[in-house]
């Protein structure tokens, strides 16, 4: 049986202005360090056919720079925005744990049943992220894709590829500017085999 292969490089944004916090949908741009992290992670690599990115500037600005350098299209999607953290947005881990030191532990251990107040439900987040993923894989079958997004988005996608329960997604560490490669083999119309080739690396 013949098959075609789609390659997707998943890349998290670098450090944003303001440093580490539960930023969610707050649109902070990359810091100077963040730009350096992302440029270092991809180097002079050019083997993509298309760039797809979250619309938030910490992803979209770098994605646009890469697309212009490689001279390929860039597509911006709201569905690859970070999960909404509700009342936690903009707060550091220390600020969240001021009232309850176990709050973050419970969230990391089981985000499905320990959603922050007013936050996006994990099942809804999965629906929009995986739905968009399925759409781009179908539409760009056989292509080499760079997808620039957020830690939550990449955890969700890697969990999907590895058939992990979504309440265990925080067992996947996603560093700033880390690159993970997914290979999707297409057999016929609806049959695919997805594999994680490497995780949290750099490109040469």
d(CA 118, CA 153): 19
Q: What is the pLDDT of residue 186?
A: 93
Helix (H) or strand (E) holding 65: helix 57-70
Instruction: Express each pLDDT in 30-89 by its tens digit.
Output: 999 999 999 999 999 999 999 999 999 999 999 999 999 999 999 999 999 999 999 999
Instruction: Express each pLDDT in 55-69 by its tens digit.
Output: 999 999 999 999 999
Contact between residue 122 and residue 83 where contact means Cβ atoms under 8 Å apart = yes
Q: Tokens in use for 121?
A: 């439900």
> pTM, whole model, 2 decimals?
0.96
CATH fold of the domain at 4-84+121-201: Rossmann fold (3.40.50)
Instruction: Express each pLDDT in 142-185 by its tens digit.
Output: 999 999 999 999 999 999 999 999 999 999 999 999 999 999 99
d(CA 41, CA 71): 19
Q: What is the pLDDT of residue 26?
A: 97
């Amino acid at each position: 049986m013949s098959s075609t292969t789609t390659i997707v490089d998943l890349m998290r944004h670098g450090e944003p202005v303001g440093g580490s916090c539960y930023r969610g949908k707050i649109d902070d741009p990359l810091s100077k360090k963040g730009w350096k992290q992302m440029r270092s992670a991809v180097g002079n690599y050019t083997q993509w056919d298309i760039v797809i990115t979250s619309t938030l500037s910490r992803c979209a600005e770098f994605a646009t720079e890469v697309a212009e350098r490689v001279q390929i299209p860039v597509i911006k999607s709201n569905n690859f925005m970070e999960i909404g953290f509700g009342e936690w947005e903009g707060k550091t881990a220390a600020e969240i744990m001021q009232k309850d030191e176990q709050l973050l532990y419970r969230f990391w251990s089981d985000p499905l049943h320990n959603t922050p107040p007013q936050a996006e439900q994990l099942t809804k987040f999965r629906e929009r992220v995986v739905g968009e993923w399925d759409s781009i894989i179908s539409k760009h079958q056989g292509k080499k894709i760079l997808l620039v997004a957020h830690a939550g988005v990449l955890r969700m996608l890697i969990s999907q590829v590895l058939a992990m329960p979504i309440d265990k997604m925080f067992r996947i560490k996603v560093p700033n500017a880390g690159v993970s490669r997914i290979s999707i083999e297409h057999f016929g119309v609806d049959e695919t085999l997805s594999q994680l080739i490497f995780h949290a690396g750099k490109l040469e």
